Every structure is written in C-alpha cells, then in structure tokens.
Amino acid sequence: MKGNVGKSTETLRKNLIRILSEESVLADATDLLAYRNDASWFVGNPSIVVLPRSTEEVQKCMRYAYENDIAIVPRGSGTGLSGGTVPAEGAIIIDLSRMNKILELDKDNLTIKVQPGVITADIHSAVEKEGLFYPPDPASQGASTIGGNIACRAGGPRGVKYGTTKDYVLGLEVVVPPGNVIRYGGKVIKLSVGYEIGRLLVGSEGTLGIITEATLKLIPRPMYKKTMLISYSELAKATQTVSKLIASKIIPTTLELMDNETVRAIEQFKKAGYPTDADGLLLIECDGYKEKDVEEQIEIVINACKTLGATEIKIAENDQQAAQIWAGRRSMFAAYANAAPTVISEDVTVPRTKVPDIVKAIKEISAHYGIRVGIGGHVGDGNMHPNYMVDKRNKDEMERVEKACAEVAKAALEMGGVVSGEHGVGIAKAQYAMWQLGDLYVDYMKALKKVFDPKNLMNPGKLWIESGGEGK
C-alpha cells in the first residue's frame, strides 16, 4: 500500500479541512480501521471521519457531502449492537463525540439540554447530584452518547417502570439534508402543534438527519430502593412471575431474568454467590419516594413469588448487599464473552404475558440449531436478550445462529411482539423489521425518507433492505 491516504480521499480531506479544521478530520487508514464497525459483527468501509464541534459545522459537512453525493453516517461512540453506524462504502462518518457539552440543567422545569456527544452516564451523574433522575440506563451507558441513544431508542433495565430514551425527549434540534436546521419541542411537557417531526427523528438511526441538541425530561430521584434475588427450580415459574406481578398492579423498577445457563456462566466467571442449581433467577428492584411505599411493593412481590413456588428469596439489607446481587448480573455479558469468542445479543420483545412462551421458543430453537444460548433480559417489559455464544470463525455455526435468530424473530412476531425492543434495526434486523412492518408500512417509511433525504445519502442501507439487495 502506497501512503495511507488514497488520491480521492486526499481531495476529500483537503476540502473538509477547509470547511472544519485539520484536527477535526481523520483520513489515515489507521484511524479509519477503528471506525469500520460498532459493537455488532458487521463491518463497513468509510472514506473519512469528521468531528464537528457545532451545529454550524454539522451543517457545513452535510452541505458538502450532499453537494458531492457522498453518503453520510452519523456516529456517537459506536456501541450499538445492530450495525446502525456501520458505514456504507465510502461514506463520510460524522462523529458527534466532540459536541459533548451539557448546555443547561433546568431544575425548575426538570429538563436538561445537551449536545449529542454527551456520554449517557455523565447525564446521570450531573442530574443525580441535584436529586433528579434520568432513568434510561443502557448497559453501555459509560460510553454511549445521548445522540446515539435517541437515534436508536436505547433502553435498559429500568425500562420496565420508566420506559426508554424515547419517553424522555422533549425537544430536538436536528440538521437535515441538504443542511437545514429543524427545531422541535422544547422545555414544554405538553405539545399539540403540527406533525411531530422531532419524534420521527427519535429512532430514525441517522437515516433522516443528525441530532445536534436535545432537551430531555427529568423526574425527581426516587430516594428508596430495595433489591431482591429470587430463585426458582423451574424456569417457567420464573417467567410466569412477570405477568403475575403486573397483574398484581406492581411495576418494579427492574425485573431481570437469568436462566441456568447464564447463572452457571456467571458463577464460573465470577463467584457472585448465585445458586447454580436454580433453573431460573429473577433480580427484582422496587423503588419509590417513601420507604413505606417500597416496603409495600416488596411484600406484594414476595407473595407473588411464593405463590409461584420460589425456592429462595434474598432481600438485600443494605447497599453493599444490593451491590453484591448486582455484581453477578452486571458481569453477565463478560461471563458469556468468557465462554465463547463471539457473543450475539438479540433483543426481541413480546407482550409480558408471552414471556414464558418466548423463553421456551428461544430454548427450543437454539437446541434445534445446536447453538449455546444464555437467556438474560429485562423480562419485566417483555424484552428478551438471548445471548448466543458462538465463534465467528466457524462458518457453519454462524449460518446456524443466523437461522436461529430469524426463527426467534418470527416466533416473537407470532406472539404479537416486535423484533427489537431497544437495540434498533440497523443492518442486523433489517429483514426482520420488514417481516414485522410489512410492505406498505415500509413503503411509507421510504416515502418519508425521500422527503427528508431525496438523494438517499443519510445512512443508506439501514432499517430495510432495498429490493434486489441482499439480506444479511
């Protein structure tokens, strides 16, 4: 290879440096390698990366790309799991990481205004210091950006009670092709004016425009919390607990499921003190503003679990014990990663009454294809995370796991579920999304995209598969 920057890239580089600055443009092949993928197993090939510092700079980049017919892929920290930010061939990556200021924390209106590159966990610590709460807590919160969270509707364990990112977006500023700025909403918590174009950008995965500023809703921080670990000798009983609890009109903050495969993987990786003979474990957390309120919730939870034959109920008596219970669950992903070179984390979501059925289906389908699977997930909201432990070097196994994923997606759809609860569609689930949405729905999406992005340059190749194009 001669030099590190090809000739056409060199022109591109010079032009973009003219628009931005030298330190805001990355064109060396070495750097570009690090921008080829997200946390999924898809790989793309960008031509250049730019790191704008303001909305105006984003506009300028977009204008340039649009005039020159170059595809644009917005990016945060690249922790997505569905290939949403994996670049189309030759695309310009617009990395929003350096627009990372918290612009305003408004304690009187309970809102926070942020730039897209702010790291999710930094929002948590900023608001929690003030006794406030921003609930969405994706597992990658320490690295993921708020812009990426909004563009992909990120969720997390607290989704059961508090919903996901999409439920906290009050206002957005977005740059749409060919470089215009649209503003939606603001600090108001009621809004009934016109089409909600901002809402359309939430979950649009960079296919319509680029989020350059967001106003988020905050709530007072619940002061009391109790954490429990509940063991069952039958996985089915653990899964039935979900709808039983919901029917008892209890919505826990968190309701996590771990099957035996998961428990054993965790114990092997890190002695968390989980009972390895349990066929199913539930980690349940209830919170509230009054201690009594939390106590009452806990009592109902205990009763429900006992009725279903829970074999052991462990309630954390202090923060330290709670942390210990969480330590196992938090190392779940690491435990899978330790057991296999490649972990594919899926995220179908079903109505809560169907949790036992989908768990059964996942087990059966994986067994049929001979794939090792651990089930963890935010079952409280019906969001399942089957984690397939495979080896990407094994072609045959990868083919089998693809088939298993597809069948699980179909099973979820038959149960009235959806193919993704919080990871987004990207490339990974484009086919499944089309099964779920149907031709007509996808046609409307395509038509909408055409209005925003007539040249189809915004993150092309995501959300659906163009006819004639190939599957994954």
Partner 1 sequence: MTNSLAPLEKYKDDLVYCLQCGLCLTECPVFKSTRLASLTSRGRMRILAGLLDGDITVNKRVEEVFNQCLLCEACAKVCPSGIPVGEIMATARSVVNSERGLPLTKKLILWAFSDLSRTGKLASFFSLPAKLVTKENETGLKPNSLLNKFLPLSELPKFGDKTFLDKFAGVHKPKGEPKGRIGYFTGCMTNLVYQKTGEAVLNYLLKCGYEVVIPKEQGCCGLPAFASGEINKAKEQVAFNIDAFSKENVDLIVADCASCVSMWEEHGGKLINKKLMEVVEIMGFLDKNNILPDKLKVKRGMRLGYHAPCHTRDNEISRKAPRKILQQNSTDFIYVPLETEEKCCGGGGSFGLLNPELMLNIQKDKVTEIKEKNIDIMITTCPSCRLYLASGLARHEQNSIVCHPLELV
| List of residues contacting partner 1 (CB under 8 A) | 1, 4, 26, 28-31, 33-39, 49, 51, 77-79, 95, 97-98, 100, 117, 121, 140, 142-143, 333-338, 341-343, 392-393
Nearest distance in Å: CB 136, partner 1: 16
Nearest distance in Å: CB 323, partner 1: 14
Which of 40, 436 has the CB closer to partner 1? 40
Nearest distance in Å: CB 129, partner 1: 9
Which of 334, 465 has the CB closer to partner 1? 334
Name 472's Cβ contacts closer than 8 Å, sequence gap at least 6.
402, 427, 428, 430, 431
How many whole angstroms separate alpha carbon 90 and alpha carbon 292?
A: 59
Q: Which long-range contacts (CB under 8 A, 24 or more apart) does 163-169 make?
A: 163/135, 163/136, 164/136, 164/421, 164/422, 165/136, 165/202, 166/202, 166/203, 167/217, 168/134, 168/135, 168/136, 168/216, 168/217, 168/218, 169/198, 169/199, 169/202, 169/214, 169/215, 169/216, 169/217
Q: Which residues of 343-360 are buried (b: 16+ CB within 10 A; e: fewer)?
A: bbbbbbbbebbbbbbbbe
Nearest distance in Å: CB 439, partner 1: 34
Nearest distance in Å: CB 377, partner 1: 17
Which of 100, 436 has the CB closer to partner 1? 100
Which of 31, 267 has the CB closer to partner 1? 31
Nearest distance in Å: CB 237, partner 1: 30
Q: How far is CA 93 from the centre of its chain?
A: 20
Which of 154, 445 has the CB closer to partner 1? 154
Nearest distance in Å: CB 13, partner 1: 13
> What are the CA-CA distances from residue 215 to residues 105, 109, 111, 146, 183 (Å)?
10, 11, 6, 11, 11
